[in-house]
């Protein structure tokens, strides 16, 4: 037989006592009161600008007047060779993502295995990631121009045949931009993967070594599978970074040239928003850019859901 207190509470719940209902209400809504200010801030910072961009993408501004144009801006984008070039260039730069990931994982494994002075190496590799994009762009413009430091050094060591106009040749300028992105993003990947590796239990690796597994086998079959989630997250994050946040490097290093050989999506959005004063086309291009990022996020979410079902 239950205690009098439990009996009273059960009776109130069964009869729908107002006191119990008030407590339930407080328990159900009180946590939302704490997150409500953050929801409002997120709405102002993200939701409202997003809605505004989507709205502007279906309007056309002319002579100070704004008129509804439906999908006309999107049709204009598909017929614009500069936009198509920028789109394909952004997609081509996605090759940077697996390169950065593989190199970062290899360096992280070296640091994880206790290379002497690994903390100093980690800091050295991470430094390019924290340097402002403006400084990086200006520095590499001096390094990679036809009479830049790189070509001067090549000529002095009798390798002048390798000298190229790295940022003035339309055939190789995109490779130069990609190399710059690899250099800047590598440090972040090394830090992420090193932290993930250091959090792994040592027992599995030690057991593999006792069973006679080589270092390569241990890393490939034991260590790397444990950080698969981190690798997938990094791949998606870097893909979004390459598609949506290469503007400062491209703008300072090449201005999208020569011609439009290195023009990318976010540079296209900036040009039509501020340089050509065409907010409708700029917003439409931004929506396309958002959809590309959304596809990548959806792929990552799907992968995580499949992994959770296993």
| More confident site: 168 or 42 | 168
Residues 103 and 31 in one domain: no
Residues 51 and 162 in one domain: no
Owning domain of residue 41: 4-56
Instruction: Give yes or no for residue 292 having a pLDDT over 70.
Output: yes
Instruction: Give yes or no for residue 81 having a pLDDT over 50.
Output: yes
Q: Is 17 helix (H, G, I), strand (E, B) or coil?
A: coil
Q: What are the φ/ψ torsions at residue 117 (nearest 5 degrees)?
A: 75, 25
Residues 32 and 82 in one domain: no
CATH of the domain at 279: 1.10.3720.10
Neighbours of 10 (CB within 10 A): 11
Residues 43 and 124 in one domain: no
The pLDDT, as a whole number, for residue 310 is: 54
Residues 18 and 81 in one domain: no
Please check whether residue 62 lies inside any domain of the structure.
Answer: no
Please check whether residue 67 lies inside any domain of the structure.
Answer: no
CA 188, CA 178: separation in Å to the nearest integer?
16
In terms of phi and psi (left: phi > 0; alpha: psi -120 to 50; beta: otherwise), the region of 158 is left
Please check whether residue 65 lies inside any domain of the structure.
Answer: no
What is the count of structural domains for the chain? 2
Beta bridge pairs of residue 68: 59
Of 122-126, 135-139, 195-199, 306-310, minimum mean pLDDT range: 306-310
Residues 106 and 15 in one domain: no
CA 146, CA 173: separation in Å to the nearest integer?
12
Q: What pLDDT, in 10s, does the model give residues 228-258?
A: 888 988 998 899 888 888 888 999 998 888 8
Estimate the share of the chain in helix, then strand, then coil, as percent rounded to the nearest 5. Answer: 75, 5, 20
CA 73, CA 5: separation in Å to the nearest integer?
69
Q: What is the pTM of this model?
A: 0.80
Residues 164 and 262 in one domain: yes
Please check whether residue 63 lies inside any domain of the structure.
Answer: no
Please check whether residue 123 lies inside any domain of the structure.
Answer: yes
Residues 105 and 212 in one domain: yes
- Classify burial at 54, counting beta carbons within 10 Å of its beta carbon; exposed 0-12, middle 13-18, buried 19 or more: middle
Residues 103 and 138 in one domain: yes
Please check whether residue 18 lies inside any domain of the structure.
Answer: yes
Q: What pLDDT, in 10s, does the model give residues 113-164?
A: 766 666 677 777 888 888 888 888 888 888 888 888 888 998 898 888 888 8
């Amino acid at each position: 037989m239950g205690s009098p207190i439990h009996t009273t509470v059960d009776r109130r719940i069964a009869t729908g006592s107002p006191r119990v209902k008030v407590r339930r209400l407080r328990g159900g809504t009180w946590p939302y009161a704490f997150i409500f200010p953050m929801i409002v801030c997120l709405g102002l910072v993200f939701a409202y600008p997003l809605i505004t961009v989507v709205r502007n993408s279906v309007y056309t501004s002319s002579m100070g007047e704004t008129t509804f144009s439906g999908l006309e801006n999107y049709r204009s984008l598909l017929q614009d060779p500069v936009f198509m070039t920028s789109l394909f260039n952004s997609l081509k730069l996605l090759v940077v993502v697996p390169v950065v990931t593989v190199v970062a994982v290899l360096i992280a494994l070296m640091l994880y295995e206790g290379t002497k002075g690994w903390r100093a190496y980690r800091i050295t590799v991470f430094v390019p990631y924290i340097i402002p994009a403006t400084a990086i762009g200006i520095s590499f413009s001096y390094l990679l121009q036809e009479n830049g430091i790189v070509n001067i050094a090549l000529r002095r060591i009798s390798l002048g045949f390798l000298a190229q106009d790295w940022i003035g040749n339309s055939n190789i300028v995109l490779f130069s931009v990609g190399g710059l992105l690899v250099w800047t993003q590598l440090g972040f990947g090394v830090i992420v993967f090193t932290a993930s590796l250091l959090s792994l239990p040592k027992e599995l690796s030690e057991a593999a070594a006792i069973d006679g597994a080589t270092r390569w086998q241990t890393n490939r079959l034991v260590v790397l599978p444990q950080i698969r989630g981190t690798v997938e997250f990094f791949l998606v994050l870097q893909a979004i970074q390459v598609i949506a946040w290469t503007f400062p490097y491209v703008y300072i290093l090449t201005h999208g040239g020569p011609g439009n050989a290195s023009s990318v999506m976010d540079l296209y959005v900036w040009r039509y928003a501020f340089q050509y004063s065409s907010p409708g086309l700029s917003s439409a291009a931004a929506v396309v850019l958002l959809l590309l990022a959304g596809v990548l996020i959806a792929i990552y979410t799907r992968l995580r859901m499949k992994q959770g079902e296993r």
